[in-house]
């Protein structure tokens, strides 16, 4: 059976790999992180689309049967274009996250946090509106969260202060459900809960997209019959940097990270 492909702008997509390993442990996974060109969250739509097509092509050349777009920024701005280019099923994080948020909210007030690109695209808002027009969405960019996570600042005074500033409008809006619309944010769950209050329901897009992948594999009759899948990791630059961060995203050391030559 062919592997599943997963791509992200860099290391953050490992939160999705972690969930895939948990939910579809028998699948082989090929991961591509575009570490040479990260971050995508501050780039223009056209640039993100161009990079994403190249990322998807890299995976298709490795013979993947499905592509999971782990990056929220790519899923927000480039998914329809990528889908129109390729034949394999392509799964993004927006629809699964939006569905879960609409299902979870009790007061019909949902917050979304993400990169500037994701928030500017209004992708989550549009999807939520399609599902339930009565849900009120408050969406905010939290651009410092990505560098915090990559520098290992997952808790402490500075992170809490910045998070309090960013999240204040969401508290004011009274949201009871918050979509973590960026690969890196699941690592900040505890500080986000501290700021928002323990009652808040956090929607982890990594968990949701892994569930969706599982569903599609089953529906299309593409599930692997292996007992345990293997993962291969490719990056466009700096495998050492990727390896250094892998432990916090994936919870384990990675020794098989290769530099992709043709991206």
Active site residue 231: no
Name residues contacting ligand DGL, limited to 96-125 (CB under 6 A).
114-115, 118
Measured from each CB, the residue nearest to ligand DGL is 41
| Residue 122 burial class via C-beta count within 10 angstroms: exposed 0-12, middle 13-18, buried 19 and up | middle
CB of 39 to ligand DGL, least distance (A): 3
Cβ neighbours of residue 165 closer than 8 Å, sequence gap 6 or more: none
Q: Which is nearer to ligand DGL, 67 or 224 (CB)?
A: 67
Q: Which is nearer to ligand DGL, 181 or 224 (CB)?
A: 181
Q: Which is nearer to ligand DGL, 8 or 55 (CB)?
A: 8
Name residues contacting ligand DGL, limited to 173-232 (CB under 6 A).
182-184
CB of 74 to ligand DGL, least distance (A): 7
How many residues at the interface with ligand DGL, by CB under 6 A?
18
For residue 13, give the nearest of 91, 84, 89 by alpha carbon: 91
CA distance 160 to 45: 31
For residue 156, give the 3-state DSSP assignment: coil
Helix (H) or strand (E) holding 69: strand 66-69
Q: Using CB under 6 A, which of the segments 35-43, 52-60, 83-91, 241-249 binds ligand DGL?
A: 35-43
CB of 59 to ligand DGL, least distance (A): 16
Give helix 205-219 / helix 94-104 axis angle, nearest 10°. Answer: 110
């Amino acid at each position: 059976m062919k592997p599943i492909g997963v791509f992200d702008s860099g290391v953050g997509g490992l939160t999705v790999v972690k969930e895939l390993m948990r939910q579809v442990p028998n699948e082989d996974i090929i991961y591509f992180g575009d570490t040479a060109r990260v971050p995508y969250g501050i780039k223009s739509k056209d640039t993100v689309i161009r990079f994403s097509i190249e990322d998807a092509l890299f995976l298709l050349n490795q013979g993947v049967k499905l592509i999971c777009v782990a990056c929220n920024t790519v899923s927000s701005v480039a998914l329809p274009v990528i889908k129109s280019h390729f034949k394999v099923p392509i799964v993004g994080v927006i629809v699964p996250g939006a569905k879960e948020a609409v299902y979870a909210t009790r007061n019909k007030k949902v917050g979304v946090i993400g990169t500037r690109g994701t928030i500017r695209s209004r992708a989550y808002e549009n999807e939520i509106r399609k599902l339930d027009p009565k849900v009120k969405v408050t969406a905010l960019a939290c651009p410092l969260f990505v560098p915090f996570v990559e520098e290992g600042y997952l808790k402490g005074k500075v992170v809490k202060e910045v998070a309090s500033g960013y999240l204040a409008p969401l508290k004011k809006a009274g949201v009871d459900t918050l979509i973590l619309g960026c690969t890196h944010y699941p690592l900040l769950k505890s500080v986000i809960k501290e700021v928002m209050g323990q009652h808040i329901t956090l929607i982890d897009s990594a968990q949701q997209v892994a569930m969706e992948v599982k569903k599609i594999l089953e529906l299309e009759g593409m599930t692997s019959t292996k007992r345990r899948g293997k993962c291969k990791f490719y990056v466009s630059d700096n495998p050492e940097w990727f390896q250094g961060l892998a432990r916090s995203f994936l919870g384990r050391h990675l020794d098989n990270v290769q530099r992709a030559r043709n991206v």
